Amino acid sequence: MKNILHILRAERRLSQDDLAKLVDVSRQTINAIEREKYDPSLSLALKIAKVFDKKVEEIFFLEKEK
């Protein structure tokens, strides 16, 4: 699953650790999500979306087929 999490974090000047604390996960979890090595659970995706005042599908999306 693709995401724009790193862009949103940069716009808000949040570190991975800052965001991790806001959504109650480890910094490593945020790093793995941003590197697209880990897909967040629905509840975590909703928490992240709330932090950025966005819809989940504005942050996370499936890669378009070629």
What tens digit of pLDDT does each residue of 6-51 get?
999 999 999 999 999 999 999 999 999 999 999 999 999 999 999 9
Q: What is the pTM of this model?
A: 0.91
Q: What is the DSSP string of 19-62?
A: HHHHHTS-HHHHHHHHTTS-PPPHHHHHHHHHHHT--HHHHEEP
Q: What angle do CA 41, 32, 6 make, to 5 degrees?
A: 95
The DSSP output letter for 63 is: P
SS3 8: helix
Split at pLDDT 50, 70, 90, the class of 64 is confident
